[in-house]
Amino acid sequence: MDGWMGKSLRIDLATGAVSKNDIDPLLLNSYLGGRGLGVRTLFDEVPPDIDPLSPGNKLIFATGPLTGTKAPTSGRSSLVTRSPLTGTIFDSNCGGWFGPRLKSCGYDMLIVEGSSPEPTLMVIRDDQVELVRCPELWGKGVSETISELVLRYGQKYSVACIGPAGENLARIASIMVDNHRAFGRGGVGAVMGSKNLKAIVVSGSQSVNVADEKQLDFVVYECNKWLKGNPITSQGLPEFGTPVLLNLLNTIGALPVRNHQECQASYAEAVSGERIAETIFVKRSGCSHCPIQCGRETRTARASGKGPEYESLWALGPQCGVDNLEDIAEANYLCNDLGLDTISTGSTISCAMELSARGIIKESISFGDGEAVKELVVKIARREGIGDELAEGSRRFAGRHGAEEFAMQSKGLEFPAYDPRGMKGMGLAYATSNRGGCHLRAYMVGPEVLGIPKLIDRFSFRGKSGLTIYFQNSHAAMDSLVLCRFAGLALSDEYFARLLSAVIGRKVEPQDLQITGERIWNLERLYNIRAGFRRADDSLPPRLTSEPVPSGPCKGSTVELDEMLQEYYRSRGWDQDGVPSPAKLRQLGLEGELIA
């Protein structure tokens, strides 16, 4: 089989049973791999009423048909599970080397089910699988864990592991890969911790069969020309990394500050990507098969590590009112080593800061206190003191104190670094995201700020549904191929279709990818409906819909969500309650899936 390996690996941690199974080619053609294949598998195997932290939940790691090929930015893989933070179906996307090395073992998908009675390490070497007791690793940070496993198994292995946050079932815990990459968001690390699975170590020797190597080489050459010709992927990201966005978002007045109470920071320049390059930058780094190399290795006076990326820089910085770059970087290093999602961690801490300022909680936690942020990061990972509450995420934390409106989230997932009052299509994207408040489901920053594929009025709320839906479908397909979102800043669906065609030996049109993405999106929606989600959950906090921006370029702006939702549902072919119509399901080959 060209592109795909055609097999899945299933491991039951409770019994130690290992099975290797063929994957139906029709399933691969309908869902591609990565996110799509994982979503289809979770939909079929994990009931929507299952406790996400019970043995009945599953971790589904899936590569795509482009993983392990020459396709640029293809060194990625997806993880699908049911989120303990949101309760939704959830996928997470990660770079590094884990995806290519899992695929080189001969598998398109790894399904982990059950729960081990004791801390366990999973080692996959080609077709050999070993489960090893590892009580000596439990409690160790990510860096120490990976260092020990690399010494034990060698540099050719990729390691995905949890830190203390995942072990302690923090609902905002990540799974860290090769030290500094992450299957982040949604508490996927807590799912791994609930299974007593400390780490997965993978290394293989198989290569991916490509149908037309010559054609693939030509399309890759063309893709690289576009990537090198685009100022964002050839200059901005390589030179300054993702933090290049901070000054831009601050200038247009769409940078959330102090728990979204403000939209500009006077000190933005002091914590920007440009300032990182001038002060703490060490060298560039990147993922497998990536010509962009947007990663940063950095060093402060007291510590070193990778990042912070833009979202981390914002969440642990301006969102918490912190203006000291070294404090932000060190909080980021701590999150990486303890295995915490930086976006949810920073936003949950900022929520606590506002509740403290309002006298809603007794603890004194002040905006701007960088040392306090670092202390709280450790407390969250170890569930110590107020960290035990914060480990539940902002919605549960604020709700416990009768103040859920101060949690900046949708469906329980904390928002990233874009205030939708300054780009209203992003508000629609947040509210309708199947995994909760996320910018990566539909990166409306592209058309509303960067002019990709075209510049549109960021303050208008009319006509936003079409582009939002296009991006949601396109990104679902990208996550299934699996490609990095940054590739989409320079490349269109036409190039993704040509890459796939060369690899699998069958003509694929751009509209085929759109249909596949739409199928995946609707299947995710159906799972969430089965889990009890309704139109009321496609929402934003009242701060964004009814509190105008107090000052700056976006002064007076709010998000007209209800108007955008009505247009969105009609454009999706859903009814007024957000339920896909029978005609839409038939069109996508999903008839009969609405009813369990």
Would the pTM count as exceeding 0.75?
A: yes
Spatial strand order of the sheet with 295-299 comes to 281-285, 295-299, 304-306
3-class state of residue 90 by DSSP: strand
Token readout for 321 is: 């009112």
Tell me the CA distances in angstroms from 290 to 236, 440, 493, 566, one per residue in order: 15, 19, 18, 39
Q: Which strand (E) or helix (H) includes residue 159?
A: strand 158-161
State residue 294's pLDDT score: 82
Determine phi and psi for 508, rounding to 5 degrees: -120, 130
Where does 162-236 have alpha helices with state H?
Answer: 164-167, 188-194, 213-229, 231
Q: How far apart are the first and last CA of the chain?
A: 33
DSSP states along 271-302:
GSHHHHHHHTEEEEE--TT-SS--EEEEE-SS
Ordered structural domains, the chain, with CATH = 7-203 (3.60.9.10), 242-414 (1.10.569.10), 420-587 (1.10.599.10)
Q: Quote the crossing angle between the two packed helices 493-504 and 213-229, to the nearest 10°.
A: 160
Instruction: Name 186's Cβ contacts closer than 8 Å, sequence gap at least 6.
Output: 81, 83, 84, 85, 86, 88, 90, 92, 341, 413, 435, 436
Asked if residue 128 lies in contact with residue 302, where contact means CB atoms within 8 angstroms, the answer is no
Q: Helix, strand, coil proportions of the chain in percent (round to 5)? A: 45, 15, 40
State residue 336's pLDDT score: 97
State residue 595's pLDDT score: 58
Q: With CA atoms as reference, report the closest residue to 379 among 371, 389, 387, 370.
A: 387
Asked if residue 202 lies in contact with residue 495, where contact means CB atoms within 8 angstroms, the answer is no
Please give the average pLDDT of every successive group of 10 residues along the chain, which has 596 residues. Answer: 96 97 97 98 97 98 96 95 98 93 97 98 96 98 96 93 98 94 96 98 96 97 94 87 93 98 97 95 83 88 94 98 98 98 98 98 97 98 98 98 98 98 98 96 95 94 95 97 91 96 97 98 97 97 97 97 96 96 96 70
Rounded to an integer, what distance in angstroms lies between the CA atom of residue 90 and that of residue 52? 11
3-class state of residue 281 by DSSP: strand
Token readout for 528 is: 């969430």
Rounded to an integer, what distance in angstroms lies between the CA atom of residue 34 and that of residue 94? 11
Rounded to an integer, what distance in angstroms lies between the CA atom of residue 352 and that of residue 514? 41
Token readout for 373 is: 């942020």
Rounded to an integer, what distance in angstroms lies between the CA atom of residue 69 and that of residue 77? 13
State residue 38's pLDDT score: 98
Asked if residue 445 lies in contact with residue 488, where contact means CB atoms within 8 angstroms, the answer is no
